[in-house]
Amino acid sequence: MSARNLHDLAIVGAGMVGAALALALAREGFDVAVIEPRAPKPWSAQDEVDLRVVALAPSSVDLFTRLDVWKEIVTARASAYRRMRVWDALAPGALEFDATDEGRASLGYIVENRLIQSMLWDALQRESRITLHCPAIVAATDVAADRRTLTLDDGSIIAAKLVVAADGAESVLREMVGIGTQGRDYSQRAIVAHATTERAHESTAWQRFLPGGTIAFLPLADGRSSIVWSVPDAESQRLLALDDAAFCAELGAASDFRLGRITATTPRASFPLRMKLAERYLAPRLALIGDAAHAVHPLAGQGVNLGLRDVDELCAALIEARDTKRDFAAASVLRRYERRRRSDNVLSAHAFDAIQRVFGSEAMPLAALRGIGLAAVDKIAPLKRGFARHAAGR
């Protein structure tokens, strides 16, 4: 294969993280190939709000702004949340965050997954330095001294100086190169739906720790709230089987009726909760990014934000190496990315895991300590600011 057919990068997976990486690098002059099994369904304002939403931190909004896609996203259908309220069902004490305390207009935005993916996909199609292969699946990979090749399911071959696996928590490419994972199955499912409530959501994200799980109400642009209710597997089956009236009643009780009665919900869906961490992020001329490297508990809504921080760090490493005339796919260059992001991602994953274990316990002595802890953090301004800045990606 000639040098003319050699891409700078091949990115496998065009979800939020993979698409953002492709756009960021193409805008910096890299020649990028993107391999994706299926194009996302085009987003339309007439569609019902997607059940899967993300809480975008300011760092993620900054990245999308630099990629020239944020204006399209935020004007389409996004909801700023300005406050967050966290409390425990078994103990007094609460933790409250307010954007004005940080001198910001908002803590972040609640946005539909499908809206973000659709806008990013449209931007990929417009970018002249990106070659899209879709629908396409990687069937095999091999590495040489100066490149890695990908054999697609139709028999075609793509070669790139660096391949990035952005193909999700069940990454096939990660398995192909022999990178193992460690983690935990929480034996829980997250039930998602959109709820109409008696009282306004007040542009506030509400989260309550419950015995064995958590419930979050995230403000939507249309006045409803997106709910994410994490419960044990058996309990999820029971809740999913309830009729709408019974489900609304249980949902209201679980949320302590902070927004009044639940007057209606959309059809429900659920997904399993697992933590899965790659044992390393690198193989020869290959790097992992996003959920392929780290899938975490959705407790704080940070999974996508962690992946988008991977994008920032990997871009910085590759651009610096290229601009100083070094091989940007060299192991010495990629280790900077791995060192910085793996430490943050592993620390974050285990922090979410520890919170889930501690706040999921029904032991009353531990519940009392939790309440004291929430109240203490709320009153210690430097500690509270530290939590807020970390969640914002600052």
Per-residue pLDDT reduced to its tens digit, 124-154: 999 999 999 999 999 999 999 999 999 999 9
Bridge-based pairing of strands 32-35 and 6-12 is parallel
Determine the pLDDT at residue 321: 98
Contact at 8 Å (CB) between 112 and 14? no
d(CA 169, CA 40): 18
Determine the pLDDT at residue 59: 93
Mean pLDDT for 192-206 is 97
Determine the pLDDT at residue 351: 74
Mean pLDDT for 53-70 is 96
Mean pLDDT for 283-289 is 98
Instruction: Tell the residue number behind the tokens 């003319």, with chain if given.
Output: 4
Determine the pLDDT at residue 384: 46
Which of 19, 20, 115, 2 is CA-nearest to residue 60? 20
Tokens standing for 105? 């207009």
Which of 310, 330, 305 is CA-nearest to residue 320? 330
Q: What is the pLDDT of residues 69-127, one digit of tens each?
A: 999 999 999 999 999 998 887 777 778 889 988 788 999 999 999 999 999 999 999 99
Q: For residue 383, is pLDDT > 60?
A: no
Of the two residues 14 and 343, the one the predictor is more confident about is 14
Q: For residue 293, is pLDDT > 70?
A: yes
Q: For residue 301, is pLDDT > 90?
A: no
Q: For residue 374, is pLDDT > 90?
A: no
> Given pLDDT bands bounded at 50, 70 and 90, which one contains residue 239?
very high
d(CA 384, CA 373): 12
Q: What is the mean pLDDT of the chain?
A: 89
Q: For residue 353, is pLDDT > 60?
A: yes
Determine the pLDDT at residue 86: 87
Determine the pLDDT at residue 1: 45
End-to-end CA distance of the chain: 43
Q: Which value, in Å, is the radius of gyration of the alpha carbons in the chain? A: 22
Q: What is the pLDDT of residues 227-238, one digit of tens each?
A: 999 999 999 999
Q: Dihedral angle at the C-alpha atoms of 178, 184, 186, 191, nearest 10 degrees?
A: -30
For the chain, domains (ranges, CATH) are 3-40+114-182+275-356 (3.50.50.60), 70-113+186-273+360-392 (3.30.9.10)
Mean pLDDT for 175-190 is 94
